[in-house]
């Protein structure tokens, strides 16, 4: 479902600002009160508007929550893409991916807590989960592509790329909960541990 947009330039500008405001309010509500507390009424209350104003821009609660997921993952993209593009080889690209994902998880804990609430709780009309394991396939496939590129370049050893891609993504997906449960973890240092671990796993034995 798509959010509703105005047709004039003024409506588009103001509408974009409004939608961003409502997404931010939804993130705060999800992170602070959980899925049940993040209603349209709560978002409207936090934004200081009526429910009808929120529903003008997002035709349903589900549409708003979908927009939250899109916004959070879109924000993670530019810095990660830039780091990958700047990497000189496939080992460096894998390291850049691990560092970028870990840093984002460490610096956006509130946003990822909100997304986790949506993933766990948003349902379709028939009661089935809105987001399923299939929604992770694109991310797993991207990591698998990194690993396959490293094998083609001769930098990585031979191993099952699908299996390791699943393990790597599962590790990254667990980071928000880990950082939240243990505030003493140093994110950048943890990232370097992951880089070292996975680099030793994928590279050819050069001893």
Residues with Cβ within 8 Å of 154's Cβ and at least 6 positions away in sequence, in order, are 204
Residue 61 lies in a domain: yes
Residue 64 lies in a domain: yes
Position of tokens 């899925």? 35
Residue 134 lies in a domain: yes
Q: Where residue 183 sits, what CATH number does that domain have?
A: 1.10.357.10
Q: Tell me, what's the pLDDT at 65?
A: 97
Q: Tell me, what's the pLDDT at 206?
A: 57
DSSP string covering 177-202, please?
A: HHHHH-TT--HHHHHHHHHHHHHHHH
Give yes or no for a contact between 101 and 80, defined as CB atoms under 8 angstroms apart: yes
Number of domains in the chain: 1
Residue 120 lies in a domain: yes
Prediction pTM value: 0.85
Q: Tell me, what's the pLDDT at 15?
A: 81
Residue 84 tokens, joined: 């990958």
Residue 65 lies in domain: 9-202
Residue 3 lies in a domain: no
Residue 206 tokens, joined: 């050069």
DSSP state, residue 59? S
Note down pLDDT in tens along the chain; length 207 residues.
334 444 333 357 778 899 999 999 999 999 999 999 999 999 999 999 999 999 999 999 999 999 999 999 998 889 999 999 999 999 999 999 999 999 999 999 999 999 999 999 999 988 888 887 788 899 999 999 999 999 999 999 999 999 999 999 999 999 999 999 999 999 999 999 999 999 999 998 753
Residues with Cβ within 8 Å of 187's Cβ and at least 6 positions away in sequence, in order, are 102, 103, 105, 106, 107, 179
> 10 Å Cβ neighbour count for 205?
6
Residue 193 lies in a domain: yes
Residue 162 lies in a domain: yes
Residue 207 lies in a domain: no
Q: Is 42 helix (H, G, I), strand (E, B) or coil?
A: helix
Q: Tell me, what's the pLDDT at 13?
A: 74
Q: Which residue, 68, 130, 138, 80, is CA-closest to 105?
A: 80
Q: How far is CA 95 from CA 25, 73, 156, 163, 187, in A?
A: 34, 20, 13, 18, 15
């Amino acid at each position: 479902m798509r959010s509703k947009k105005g047709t004039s330039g003024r409506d588009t500008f103001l509408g974009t600002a409004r939608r961003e405001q409502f997404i931010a309010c939804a993130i705060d509500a999800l992170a602070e009160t959980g899925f049940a507390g993040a209603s349209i009424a709560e978002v409207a209350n936090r934004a200081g508007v009526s429910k009808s104003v929120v529903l003008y821009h997002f035709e349903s609660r589900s549409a708003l929550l979908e927009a939250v997921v899109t916004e959070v993952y879109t924000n993670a993209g530019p810095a990660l893409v830039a780091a990958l593009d700047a990497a000189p080889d496939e080992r460096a690209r894998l390291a850049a991916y691990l560092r970028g994902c870990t840093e984002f998880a460490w610096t956006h804990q509130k946003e990822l807590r909100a997304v986790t609430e949506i993933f766990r709780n948003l349902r379709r009309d028939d009661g089935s989960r809105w987001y399923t394991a299939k929604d992770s396939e694109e991310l797993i496939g991207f990591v698998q592509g990194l690993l396959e590129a490293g094998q083609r370049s001769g930098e990585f050893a031979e191993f099952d790329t699908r299996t390791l891609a699943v393990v790597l993504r599962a590790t990254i997906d667990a980071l928000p909960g880990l950082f939240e449960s243990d505030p003493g973890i140093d994110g950048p240092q943890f990232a370097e541990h992951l880089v070292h671990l996975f680099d030793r796993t994928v590279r050819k034995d050069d001893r």
